[in-house]
Structure 1
Amino acid sequence: MSTIAEEIQALKSASAEQTSASQSLAQEVSGKMSDIDQKVDQSINQVEQSYDQKASDLTIIATDGYRKAIEDASGGRNTVVYDAQGNPNIMVVVPRFNIEDLGLTDLDLGTGTHPAFLTNGAPRGEILIGKYLASSAAGGSAVVGGAQPRVSVDYDQAKQLCTDKGQGWHMMSIHEWAAVALWSMANGTVPRGNTNYGRAHDAHHETARRADDGQPGDTSGVGRTDTGKGPATWNHDHSEFGIADLVGNCLEWLDQMKLENGQIITTLDNDPSIAEVNWHKHPAFFDSTSNATEGSNVGDPVLNNQVVNRNGPLNDDSYDYAYSSVSNWASITKDPSYTPVELLRKLLIESAVTSNAQGYLTVRNYGDRFPLRGGRWSNGSDAGLGYLHLHSARSSSGSFIGFRPALFL
């Protein structure tokens, strides 16, 4: 007969065995749950990866479909390029051309490939120009129609917004503007535009929606119009597939050219990678017929090989001093000592004849000045493909100043 001590010991042993069995079972259950959790996680990951891939595929199909629709509708003259921010940009394909093939012999432009299609001497088969001004839609630099242009940005901000779009993107250059303008002149499709508060000054029936929904021609309010909302005659080729709003609406910042104390400085061809400090200094200056520094417009500018009459202090970027201007940029007087520069004729900065692209020229021959072209909604007959505003410092901005992205592929 067992003693109480032996029974207590037996109970302890049974309890230990039960505890061990419970622990073993718990470990087995835990292992199986871990396996189940792992399989569930793997299944979820597979489903998520499959979903992400299918979503990506659908996005690619959608974006490719949009691009194909634009290209098919335009016969390949327009395309859609998505930038680094994922924004769609409708671009006009401008193919390379020979200058002599334009037939503009009176302009004395030389021969060969226009410099817009050369980068450090290497030719490009085509360039892509924003169909519209950069808009305030989709982050502020997308090239889309029916939106308000992105305005109130200075030169450096506009340039940065373009380069931020990704590799090959840049702000439209002085070379590209001139190439498009010369092509339009050669093809008889010089565009009109919003030059009279929501309408064309020379064709009042041509209108577009104003930013303030105001009446066309009403000089009160903001006369700026939506991108591309005008008729086909406001496009560079007079078709629905052309580059819109080059004339009027907003002045456009252009890259690769500036005035430095009156001296004309540009890149030698279309190369946005060249630092501003390394741009070429031409032996060409905007002189003046007056040495006055006070007042506003003190006379006509003069092309010269030096500045004789400076209208403000050297290196002064302010607007505190006088300027010169002429309603027809091509009629500018040339000093007898001035040696013409062929490249400047190709860029519509100098002209061999007085009958050239329409446009007003205004110049401050002191400080650094950066080019604005095309004219604005209030410029009337002063606006045009030849309009050249060399009045503004790089820090200038306003509700009438926009910009246009371009792209190398």
Structure 2
Amino acid sequence: MSNFDLSSLALASAFPTNKILTDDKGLPSVMVYIPKFKMSDVIDGAGDSTHPAFIVNGVEKNGIYISKYQNVAYNNRAYSLPGEDPKVSITADTARKYCEDKGAGWHMMSAMEWGALALWCKKNGWMPWGNNNYGKDTRETMKKGVPAKYESDGRTATILTGTGPVEYSHNKQLDGIYDLNGNVWEWSDGMRLVYGELQVLENNNAADSSNSKAASSAAWKAIDGTTGELITPDGNGTTTNSLKLDMVSSKGKWITGTLSDKKDEGRGCSFASVTADTNVCDKAKAILYALAMLPDSTTFDYEGDYFWFNNGNAERFAIRGGGWNYGAYAGLFCTHLAYPRSNSYWYIGFRSAFYE
């Protein structure tokens, strides 16, 4: 038995849901298996349909693998490894390429996959902590991760992947997915705003590299808020009945008509305060719930997670989770839809995923 086989066996023995997967160069990544679940498993009263994260090109998958750690890059490829400084200063398109170049099934973690994890965590009673306060969680004073980078004033910025306490994992267990809250923002594929209009790839089709996520790709679809059907966008953010994100009384609101407050700037509100207009149908809301783009509860506070968006620009891409200095605003339901895909900042990274 090779050393690699022994390592895989040891990992599987300790953490059955963890697996070392290799890319087409034979290089490893530590991944966490998330079995398929229904919408009703994560939202009380929801239908029994499979969460869209587990449907790729119309085919249901038994599960998906998510990187246990925020990714690093070696030879222009993405890897999930412990004790590393996560790769940052990378555009969305380059991050996607680093993931897809690993071989069939590999992709940048999608918005639908992120939504699935967020809903699972909320339903199972643990909203993971993370490095959102200069090396530690804002609710914590003692437990910290191992510093990787520092601010100019000496405060901790990023921490090495997986070095935080067990509270930083998605299930509060050592076999969980780490650093979904804080550390660095993560590009989230397959979802964007076009002049405030929400556009997505169907289900989890963003996971298939053959489905183009280029700005001009025909795979991008708007969502008819009155029927819940995916529709071809008009390119101007004004598709009839499409879901659009308005700012109403300083809060985000999903509407199907004309935006009343449209601005080419980033604005925000608490995620818990985001609502949908009364004419948005249940089927359309189900897509928003699945993406973690609309609160599925009016009584849960989402622990202060924040929601930023720009509804006046031709394209704004999603980053999620928050960074090392976002405090209570960071978390699984924290989304920022105010940056272009071309941004390359030292606080934005990414995470790969895999399906069979």
Q: Percent identity?
A: 32
Contact 1:119 1:271 in 2 (8 A): yes
Q: Cα offset for 1:375?
A: 0.6
Give ranges in structure 1 of 5+ residues lacking alignment.
Answer: 1-59, 291-298, 313-320
Contact 2:18 2:30 in 1 (8 A): yes
Q: Verify: 1:368 aligned to 2:308, yes or no.
A: no
Q: Cα offset for 1:141?
A: 1.7
Deviations 1:215-264 (A, max 9, x none): xxx96455111101001110001111100000010101011111111111
2:234 is matched with none
1:129 is matched with 66
Deviations 1:6-62 (A, max 9, x none): xxxxxxxxxxxxxxxxxxxxxxxxxxxxxxxxxxxxxxxxxxxxxxxxxxxxxx822
Contact 2:99 2:106 in 1 (8 A): yes
1:398 is matched with 345
Q: Verify: 1:66 aligned to 2:31, yes or no.
A: no
Q: Relative to 1, partners in 2 of residues 1:219 and 1:339: Cα closer, same or farther, differing over 3 Å?
A: farther
Instruction: Choose which of 240, 249, 271 in structure 2 pairs with 1:329.
Output: 271
CA distance in 2, matches of 1:227, 1:168: 23
CA distance in 1, matches of 2:166, 2:192: 32
CA distance in 2, matches of 1:338, 1:124: 29
Larger Rg: 1
Which AA in structure 2 matches 1:166? G
CA distance in 1, matches of 2:332, 2:320: 7
CA distance in 1, matches of 2:339, 2:35: 32
Q: Map 1:213-228; keep pairs closer than 5 Å.
A: 220-228=154-162
Contact 2:275 2:294 in 1 (8 A): no
1:77 is matched with 17
Which AA in structure 2 matches 1:134? N
CA distance in 2, matches of 1:212, 1:155: 22
1:300 is matched with 251
Which AA in structure 2 matches 1:308? L
1:185 is matched with 122
* Greater fraction of residues in helix: 1
2:243 is matched with 284
Q: Cα offset for 1:68?
A: 1.5
Q: Cα offset for 1:357?
A: 3.7
Q: Map 1:20-169; keep pairs closer than 5 Å.
A: 61-74=2-15, 76-102=16-42, 104-105=43-44, 109-136=46-73, 141-169=78-106
Give the total of aligned pairs: 326
Instruction: Choose which of 269, 272, 275 in structure 1 pairs with 2:212.
Output: 275
1:296 is matched with none
Which AA in structure 2 matches 1:263? E
Contact 1:84 1:165 in 2 (8 A): yes
Q: Verify: 1:234 aligned to 2:171, yes or no.
A: no
Q: Relative to 1, partners in 2 of residues 1:169 and 1:140: Cα closer, same or farther, differing over 3 Å?
A: closer
Look up the SS of the partner of 2:85 in the other structure. coil
Look up the SS of the partner of 2:288 in the other structure. helix
What is the TM-score of this pair, normalised by structure 1? Answer: 0.75
CA distance in 1, matches of 2:200, 2:117: 18
Deviations 1:161-187 (A, max 9, x none): 000111100010111111112111222
CA distance in 2, matches of 1:84, 1:399: 29
Measured on the aligned residues, the alpha-carbon RMSD in Å equals 2.1
Q: Relative to 1, partners in 2 of residues 1:183 and 1:219: Cα closer, same or farther, differing over 3 Å?
A: farther
CA distance in 2, matches of 1:181, 1:385: 5
Contact 1:93 1:127 in 2 (8 A): yes
Contact 2:78 2:99 in 1 (8 A): yes
Which AA in structure 1 matches 2:307? L
Q: Relative to 1, partners in 2 of residues 1:148 and 1:307: Cα closer, same or farther, differing over 3 Å?
A: farther
1:46 is matched with none
Q: Relative to 1, partners in 2 of residues 1:222 and 1:367: Cα closer, same or farther, differing over 3 Å?
A: farther
1:382 is matched with 329
Which AA in structure 1 matches 2:18? N
CA distance in 2, matches of 1:310, 1:87: 49
**Higher RCO structure, 1 or 2 (CA under 8 Å, sep 6+):** 2
Contact 2:73 2:98 in 1 (8 A): no
Deviates more, 1:62-71 or 1:156-165: 62-71
What is the TM-score of this pair, normalised by structure 2? Answer: 0.85
Look up the SS of the partner of 2:121 in the other structure. helix
CA distance in 2, matches of 1:393, 1:82: 31
CA distance in 2, matches of 1:236, 1:219: 31
Q: Relative to 1, partners in 2 of residues 1:63 and 1:246: Cα closer, same or farther, differing over 3 Å?
A: same
Which AA in structure 2 matches 1:157? T
Contact 1:305 1:339 in 2 (8 A): no
Deviates more, 1:133-142 or 1:80-89: 133-142
